Every structure is written in structure tokens, then in C-alpha cells.
Amino acid sequence: MEFTANQIAEFLEGKVEGDGEAKVNNVAKIEEGKSGTLAFLANPKYTSYIYTTNASIVLVNKSFKADKKINSTLIYVEDAYRAFVSLLEMVAEAMFEEKTGIEEPCFIHESVTKGTNLYIGAFAYIGKNVKLGNNVKIYPQVYIGDNVTIDEGTTIYAGAKVYHDCVLGKQNTIHSGAVIGADGFGFAPTDTTNYKKIPQIGNVILENYVEIGSNTTVDRATMGSTIIRKGVKLDNLIQIGHNVEVGENTVMAAQVGIAGSTKIGKNCMFGGQAGFAGHLIIADEVKAAAMSGVAQSVKEKGKIIMGAPAYDISGFMKSFIVQRNLPEMSRKVRQLEKDIEELKRNL
């Protein structure tokens, strides 16, 4: 598909500066832009590339001011990043054919309730009493256990597993290899060195507009429910323990781990490999930097934490400055010790 700058500007309600008939048929990062591609500039770190990029069209914020000549056609918009995402959504809809129908072979139990406009891929397994809403898409080799409910518009990609009794809301996306509802890590020590497994009889509830990344696992509750609230986005390779609750619109990067029964607030952001101990309370809008180790509850809304063990980022940065200077401080201390010894000898 090919679009002109004028067509794109009309779609985005933007303003063209340059050749309105410049055409693009692909997208690219601004530093890798080629003739015929569209790029965007949102992060100031990449400003230098706008003067060297070969992209035919570049989306920029209305606040952008050029310091020198730019060869590309510019489209000024309110938010270049969001505008670019809107274009990607439009391109994706045009590129990818919507799948419908039931492929063979697959197993669908006779008790399954099926909505309209379904897609069920080959080798999928759908157990007893499952309820599938309208426009649900289940890709090949997906396993859906008994008594699962999947609401309208949810997509489950190839190889994902949803264990029995779990509830998936509307417009969720479950990526390949994800496991929803496996047993929580519950074992009781016995009077020997062995452990006795604690039955995990709860379930997992995913509310609406949740996205679960590839090979991420969300464990079922021991009792009650593990709950992922509306709008949560989980990256690949994340572990959510049993009876955890994740608040609305919280996002987590890859390899985050949340231990059992911890309650995460709304609109939180966790960097990669951040780890949270069990039975904690994390307030709304808390941000945890990558590789943070969180061992205590965070009750202050909007707090930013860092380190292992994690604490307030301002304190962490002050400590880091001291830590960075430790070799020089150590050298000075050793020199002072030598000077003191020399003074003692002279006295």
C-alpha cells in the first residue's frame, strides 16, 4: 500500500511541511529511514537523525523547531509517537487477513458454547463447558481447559494454555507459550525433609484489554482468584504468583517476578527483572527500576524505587555516588593510616 504525505496528514489531522505528494509504502526507525519510508521523531535523543535520515516523510511534534535544512517532508502532529502508533494500527489491519472458521483437526467438546465469527485453529483442544464469546480467535495448538470462559474479541495465539475454570474478559491478547492458571507454588513442609503439595483450587481472572506476553505465566490462586485488572500489559517471560492482584493499567517489562499474595496498585510501571516478595502491598503509580528487589510494601503513591533491596530512587542515587567513590576513599584512608603511623614514629 502507498500513501502520500497529504493523505497521511488528513488521517492524522496534521500539517504538511514540504512535498505533500511525497509517497511512502513502508515504515522505519528514523536512524534507518530510506526513501519510500515513514519515520517519526518523538524522543529528543534522536533529534540529530532528522537532519540525516533518508526517510521520505517524518512525523514530528508541533513543538519541534528545525535548526537547519531537512530533506524529508514533515508532518506536524500533536503527539508524533501516538500518531505513528495509529498509522501502524491502520497498516496492520490492511496487512493481516482476519481469520475465521474452524480448522481441522481440532477437538471441541459438544458442551462448548460458541459465539459468532469464531476462529479455531488446527490441533486446538477445547474442553467441557467452555464458553466462547463472539469474535474469539484461538490459534493452532492452543489448550483450553474445562469450564473456561473467554469473552468477545479475545485472541489466544499458538501454543498458549488456559487451565480449567479461568475467566478471560473482552479484547484480551494471550501470546504464544503463555500459561494461564497453572498451579501456584504451594508446598507445606512435613516433619521430614519432604514437602506436601497444597491443592490449588482457585482460578485466574483476566479483566478486559489485558495483554499477556509470550511464555509469561499467571498462576491460579490457592483459594479465590489471581486477578489481572483491566488494561494491564505484561511483557514476555513474567511470573505472576498465586493470589496476586495486579491493578488497572499496570505495565511490567520482561522477567519481572511477583510472589504470591502481593497486591499491586493501578498505573504502576516495573522495569525488567524487578522482583517482588510475597504478601506485599504496592501503592498506585509506583515505579520500580529494572532489577529492583522489593522486599517491603510500598505505601506511598507514585514513589520511584531502585536497587536491591529497593528504596527511594533519590536515596539510591546518593548512595551510588558514594559507592562509586569508594576506591578513591579507600586509597585516601590507607594513606591517612600511613601518615598517622609516620607521625607516631616521629613523636
Residues tagged active-site: 242
- Hey, what's the cell of 27? 515504515
The single residue listed with the C-alpha cell 475454570 is 165
DSSP 113-177: EE-SS-EE-TT-EE-TT-EE-TT-EE-TT-EE-TT-EE-TT-EE-TT-EE-TT-EE-TT-EE-TT
* Coil, helix or strand at residue 184: coil
**125, 124, 128: which is closest to 111 by C-alpha?**
128
Cβ–Cβ < 8 Å for 196, 214: no
Residue type, 80: A
Phi first, then psi, for residue 343 (nearest 5°) are -60, -40
Pairing between strand 119-120 and 101-102?
Answer: parallel
CA distance 307 to 316: 7
* Coil, helix or strand at residue 60: strand
CA distance 65 to 275: 42
Pairing between strand 304-306 and 311-312?
Answer: antiparallel
DSSP 18: S
DSSP 183: P
